[in-house]
Amino acid sequence: MNRRVLLVDDSALIHRLVATWLKCDQIEVVSAYTGDQAVELAVLHSVQVILLDVEMPDTNGFEVCRRLKSESSCVNIPIIFLTGASSPEDRVKGLDLGATDYITKPFHPAEFQARVRAALRTKHLLDLLQQRAQIDGLTSLRNRAYLDEHLSSELSRINRQSGTLGAIMIDVDNFKTINDTHGHLIGDEVLRQIGEVLNSQTRNEDIVARYGGEEFAILTPGVGHDGTYQLAERLRQEVEKIRIHTRNGLLRITCSLGVAYHDPNAPDTLLRRADQALYAAKRRGKNCVVVYDPNLKSMAA
């Protein structure tokens, strides 16, 4: 479990005290002294809890909390307000903005440590629930919700930092016939084995998901055009090696794949273009890879 907190306070003394207290629990402290630093560091670092002073010179903690909760990467990070004195109205305001707790100054070290540990446990449980909600139960790959969320994040990253992003759409050839001939249990086994191939042939950085039914999708950040195409061709060849025993003998599997690349002039079309390339591969006889090309008539059909 990652144990890292972001402390947002304009007092250097508070930073030294908190770092000393949390060091006993092997908790790393990332320091921010302004609201702008807080938002920047919260997005940049993988923190599990944010300790946020209510009163700061450049802005108040409520505004910083609002800004943090507007960032998709920070929505589920517990925020604990640090305050010298607060009215019940202020506490309600902070909690309504998304904070999970308040700690009143001067801090009692043992209570401070206990509240941070409790917030870390909360974040750990939230992460587990989120992970389970984003896993496809049959193939153990990510699901479409996860793919859509991370596609949005990748496109935002490219807009900020530039870079490349490819997409591969994959469809099992003749899947309805497989189900009708061999039954749905064999169909499920086909999907599981394809999922294993996709998982074993891709990098940790790639986003591999079951898109729905017999379709899969892969995002390939930072690979480049040649690399994405080569991955698609390698996947096609590996799927072709699958053999599944059925009552009717060995079942051989093939798939069709469509490839597309991020276009800065049309960033929201990446998956749609990959899907169009996929259907062009189907029309070309299946068991092949097609790269999106707007000039090909088969794409427009």
87 and 229 both lie in a single domain: no
In three-state form (DSSP H/G/I as H, E/B as E, the rest C), the secondary structure along 75-136 is CCCCEEEEECCCCHHHHHHHHHCCCCEEEECCCCHHHHHHHHHHHHHHHHHHHHHHHHHCEC
Measured in whole angstroms, how far is the alpha carbon of residue 38 from the centre of its chain? 22
pLDDT of residue 162: 83
More confident residue, 125 or 85: 125
Residue located via tokens 């169909």: 187
37 & 161 share domain: no
Does 256 reside within a domain? yes
Same domain, 148 and 296: yes
CATH number, domain at 148?
3.30.70.270
Identify the pLDDT of residue 189. Answer: 97
**What CATH number does residue 16 fall under?**
3.40.50.2300
Tell me: the pLDDT tens digits for 237-270? Answer: 999 999 999 998 999 999 999 999 999 888 899 9
Indicate the pLDDT class of residue 296, thresholds 50, 70 and 90.
low
Overall average pLDDT of the 198-202 stretch: 97
120 with 180, same domain: the answer is: no
31 and 88 assigned to the same domain:
yes
Concerning whether 215 is annotated as a catalytic residue, the answer is no
| The pLDDT value given to residue 300 | 45
- 9: containing domain: 4-133
Give the active site residue among 111, 154, 205, 214.
214
Summarize pLDDT for 17-65 with one digit per residue, the tens.
999 999 999 999 999 999 889 988 998 888 999 999 998 877 889 999 9
Q: How confident is the model at residue 301 (pLDDT cuts 50, 70, 90)?
A: very low
